[in-house]
Each structure stands twice: as C-alpha cells, then as structure tokens.
Amino acid sequence: MSAKIFWIDLPMGSPGMIRLIREHELAAEFKRLKARQRRVSLAAPFWGLGAASMLGLRRGPEIRVLCRFDSPACNPKALLELIKVGALIRSHRRLHAKLYITDAAVIIGSSNPSRYGVTQEGDILGGTVEANILTDDSSVVGETRDLFQRLWDDQIETTQVSSRMVEQEIRRRELDPPAITPRTLTARSLISACREAPELFGKVFVVAYNTGLGDGGKAALKQLQSQSGASDEELGIADFRNAWGYQFENAPLAGSWLVDLSCKGKSPRVWGASRVPLPALRLRVRGENDVTPTIRGIVSVPGAVGDFRMSTQDKEDILSVAQRLLRDGEDFVALPRVVEMIDKAKRAVDGSSRDGARAAST
C-alpha cells in the first residue's frame, strides 16, 4: 500500500468536480484530461520504463516533468523516453509529491508513473494500492499549477536534466561493476592507505586554491545552508546546513571526495575532506562559476572496509607539495598522484641528506 489517507470533516461548499481514482484508472483519466491541451505538467519522484506511453504523452503540447533524478528508483531510460517526445525535465532534490496537471483539471495523489503506481485495467493485483483525487475545482487547479511553477523555478533545489546527463546515467548503471567484498587494509590513515591500495582512491582528489568564493557564490551557498535541515533517510537528502562550496569552471565528480588545501595567505592549510553528493548539486551564480556544495566527513571508498582519517603526518605531507599543486593549476588532482609527488619529494630530500653525509665524512 502506498496511499496516505487522513479523514477530516470540512464545511460544505460548492466545489467543482472531485472524485477518487485508483491506480488502474489514472492513465485513462489523464489521457482524457490532456486531450486538446496546450501544456501538461507532471511532478513525481520516480518514473518507470514505459511511463510516457502509458500516459499517452506525444509530441505536440508542451510537456514539463519534475522528478528525482538522483534516486535509484527513477529509471533514466524512462526519462530518455520522455525526452524523445519533447519533454523538458528538471530534478528537485526533495520531491515526493505526485501531480498530474492540465489547464482544466489536476490529479493529486500517491501514484508514481510506473507499472506499480499506474497500472492498466486487468493487472490491478500487480501494482500497489494507490489513492488519487481528480478535480477541476478552479482554486485547486490554480494552486497546484502555482506549486509546480515554484518548484520548477527554484534555483536552489531544482536543476535541469539534459539528455546527455540521462544517457551518462544509463551507461553508468549498465557498466556499474558487480558488488565486491571490501578489503581490509592494514593502514588506517588516508595517505598510508592510498600507498597500500592506490587503485581504490582514484575518486579522492586534492583541491589546491588561493582564492575564495565570489560574492555571488557566498550568497548562494549561504542561502542553501539556511534552507537545509537534518537529513531525511526516506528521501536520502544530504544535510547542507554546514556545507562547503567550490566554484571551479569544471564541476567535481559526483560522489568523489575532495581534500581541501587552502593556499590563501602566507601559510597553506589542509582543512579536511568533504564529499560531493550524488548527484552533484550545482548552484547557479550570475557572472560567476556555479557553486558545487559538498558535505564534510571522513573519507571512505568502495572496496575498502572502514574509513580513513587524515593524520597530522598526512596533512604535513600534503602541505609539502602545496606550491607545486598550486603552480600546476589543476583544480582536482587524484590522491594517488599526489602521493607519488610526496614520495618523490621525500626520496629527493633523503638522497640529498645521504650525499651531504658522505661529503662530511670524507
């Protein structure tokens, strides 16, 4: 069962048509409603394969779709089907509402557009129990359209979903390697663990910089922090209240870890590590690069048991190559490569010390 039902008594009035429709009725009702409409708008977090055909979506009227692109329950192949019929798609990171909107009427309820939430007549036992309200009451239709528009225009929590993003996500899911048994590494600090198994740390990057966020970037990040709350396990929302932000021309990889190396001022400093959420959220800033918020934490990597803190020695080692990293000008340098730089610099110092000692003994 997916429906949520709360019973209350309301004063009697004279609303427009209103009635309950079940999961096996929704597709037919929506097809009827959208006939001869110039625009349809649909909001639902999870889209299943075949949803576009099931709802009768075709090229012609403007189609706008809100989804939760970051969720494993949102099938990117279903989104590709929507794009092929001309739909514009945006993703809202907290979306849970299910709205089917035309100019004349709306359906509001619990049905996601999937083979479970919207079934066909005759296969009702194959889906979930859903409850939806269909109404043409003008005030409800207007308020629902206004809600959709606010979500669609939200510059903080809503991001555009392009065909390229969808195709990349399809490939990522198809190529996702099978689950492996994580290794238990001997080392516990970050740099030592990377030396032991560098192949596991390819998505950990050192970020060296000597300028901070622009004024617009600071304002955007502050707004995100002020609008965020505690993590919601059901929706998988990241807690951005204490988020860091990076403002580079190229966005970091979603799911990657960033080791923060500030080279501002006279003394460089390693502030810690933070993770780019999945998918990466990008805050648009006029006249500046987009801001990518990250969540501070202790580095963990697929394929290794536990997490890896940065020791005092780790931070000193990273600081020893800070100027070279800054001089090279790369925004994100993979940790295994940074460790190679550190070890090469140490070997050079050790070699010079041995040479000096030999010269002194002679």
- Which domains, ranges and CATH numbers included, belong to the chain? 18-170 (3.30.870.10), 185-354 (no CATH)
List all residues 6 or more positions away from 338 whose beta carbon is below 8 Å from its beta carbon: 206, 318, 321, 325
Q: What is the pLDDT of residue 233?
A: 47
Q: What is the pLDDT of residue 358?
A: 55
- Residues in the chain with pLDDT < 70? 1-15, 120-127, 176-180, 229-238, 279, 350-362
| Angle between helix 76-84 and helix 163-175 axes, rounded to 10 deg | 150
Q: What is the pLDDT of residue 101?
A: 97
Tokens linked to 248: 């580079």
Q: What is the pLDDT of residue 135?
A: 96
Q: What is the pLDDT of residue 35?
A: 86
The whole-angstrom separation of Cα 44 and Cα 90 is: 11
Q: In which region does residue 119 sit, left (phi positive, over 0), alpha (psi from -120 to 50) or beta (all else)?
A: beta
Q: Edge-to-edge strand order for the sheet containing 269-275?
A: 244-246, 292-296, 269-275, 257-262, 204-209, 333-334
The whole-angstrom separation of Cα 308 and Cα 294 is: 18
The whole-angstrom separation of Cα 99 and Cα 182 is: 42
Per-residue pLDDT tens over the stretch 145-180: 999 999 999 988 899 999 999 999 998 888 766 566
Its pTM stands at: 0.58
Count of C-beta atoms within a 10 Å radius of residue 87: 19
Q: What is the pLDDT of residue 52?
A: 95
Q: What is the pLDDT of residue 231?
A: 57
